[in-house]
Amino acid sequence: MLNLERLRTLDALARHGSVSGAAEGLHITTSAVSQQMSKLEREVGQQLLAKNGRGVRLTDAGRLLAEHAARILSQVELAQSDLEAQRGQVVGELRLSAFPTAARGLFPAALAALRAQHPALRIRSCELEPESGIAGVIRGDLDLAVVLDWYNKPMPLPDGLVKAPILDDPADVALPAGHRLADRAEVDLAEFAEDEWITWGEGEFCHEWLMFTLRSKGIEPIVGHRAAETHTQLGLVAAGLGVCIAPVLGREPMPSEVVTIPLKQRVRRHVYVVWRADADRRPSIRAAVQALKAAAEKLG
């Protein structure tokens, strides 16, 4: 009989491509990964890993078994989901992530409500950018991820995932209080052609959206500073170092030296939650989605 935990380790190795990546995804040590793989090789009587420079790679037998492992683990998750659904109880462990402003704006109320309503449910949460959250759900490291896309730039959703909308989040421009446009009722992005932008990290989805949006208006952005965290961006704005996009969700408290002004384009982020289709019937998934929606409704 093949050991399920060892198959899970092999699957993690295949998905992450390294022992350290598998260990991080499984929340175990690299030594434990190596031990599990050694035991699995003895069980199947074949070499599953081969040295590859300083790392390892899967042998042909390893890749073949990893393909079966992925299918087996998916079937196990379906069975667990069906059993939970048949029992109708919100139990077990739920692992979820959200991008930082959603973690700040939604998680406190949503996770507190889940704990109060379902004390037998163990909740583990973390902050992750949307792409990393989706990857975590696909790998099985997470059960749910709160992610986003923008009104003019949707994020592709990989096959095998299900999503539910949580809220639409309007975004303004944040300006230093002494900025030339600070007394306006609304502004156009084209009016910031000469301003320095404070944006997200290179390659992040929100940064790529801002570059795409400004360039679509004939503006070549001047990027002065980068910061992943909204409050860091707002702190830089408060110091007079540039302007930034400031979605409403999770941005309070605002620095007194910063003014936010709506855009004529009515910029919005679409916030939603994703999970694997094979876990769709789990009562804990449904309870978490409802808690997130309830938390969003309280925000108005």
Tokens for 138, please give them.
Answer: 């696909």
Give the closest residue to 130 by CA, choosing from 270, 231, 14: 270
Locate tokens 């997130």: which residue?
A: 292
Quick one: what percent of the chain has pLDDT higher than 90?
Answer: 59
Tokens for 298, please give them.
Answer: 């309280």
Higher pLDDT, 192 or 135: 192
Quick one: what percent of the chain has pLDDT higher than 70?
Answer: 97
What integer pLDDT is reported at residue 86 of this predicted model?
56
Residues in contact with 103: Cβ distance below 8 Å, sequence separation at least 6, in sequence order: 97, 125, 127, 146, 250
Hey, CA dihedral for 88, 94, 97, 100, is it positive or negative? positive
Please write the tens of the pLDDT for every residue from 13-69. 888 888 888 887 777 889 988 998 999 999 999 999 888 888 888 999 999 999 998
**Residue 231 and residue 115: Cα distance in Å, rounded?**
28
**Residue 88 and residue 155: Cα distance in Å, rounded?**
33
Please write the tens of the pLDDT for every residue from 183-229. 999 999 999 999 999 999 888 889 999 999 999 989 999 999 999 88
119 pLDDT higher than 70: yes
**Residue 261 and residue 183: Cα distance in Å, rounded?**
9
Angle between helices 19-26 and 4-16 (to 10 degrees): 120
Give the closest residue to 69 by CA, choosing from 87, 100, 48: 48
Q: How far apart are the first and last CA of the chain?
A: 54
What integer pLDDT is reported at residue 81 of this predicted model?
65
Mean per-residue pLDDT for 126-141?
87
Q: Is 23 exposed, middle or buried (0-12, 13-18, 19+ CB in 10 A)?
A: buried
What is the maximal distance between C-alpha atoms in the chain? 74
79 pLDDT higher than 80: no
Neighbours of 219 (CB within 10 A): 18
- Chain mean position to CA 166: 14
Residues in contact with 113: Cβ distance below 8 Å, sequence separation at least 6, in sequence order: 291, 294, 295
Mean per-residue pLDDT for 113-119?
94
What integer pLDDT is reported at residue 249 of this predicted model?
95
**Residue 262 and residue 252: Cα distance in Å, rounded?**
16
What integer pLDDT is reported at residue 260 of this predicted model?
97
**Residue 239 and residue 220: Cα distance in Å, rounded?**
23
Please write the tens of the pLDDT for every residue from 83-100. 666 566 788 889 999 999
Give the closest residue to 143 by CA, choosing from 208, 231, 84, 55: 84
| pTM as predicted | 0.73
109 pLDDT higher than 60: yes
Which alpha helices (H) appear in 185-282, and where do they start and end? 205-216, 230-238
113 pLDDT higher than 70: yes
Averaged pLDDT of the chain: 90
- Alpha-carbon distances of 52 from 104, 105, 127, rounded to whole Å: 42, 44, 33
E strand or H helix at 136:
helix 130-139
E strand or H helix at 124:
strand 121-127
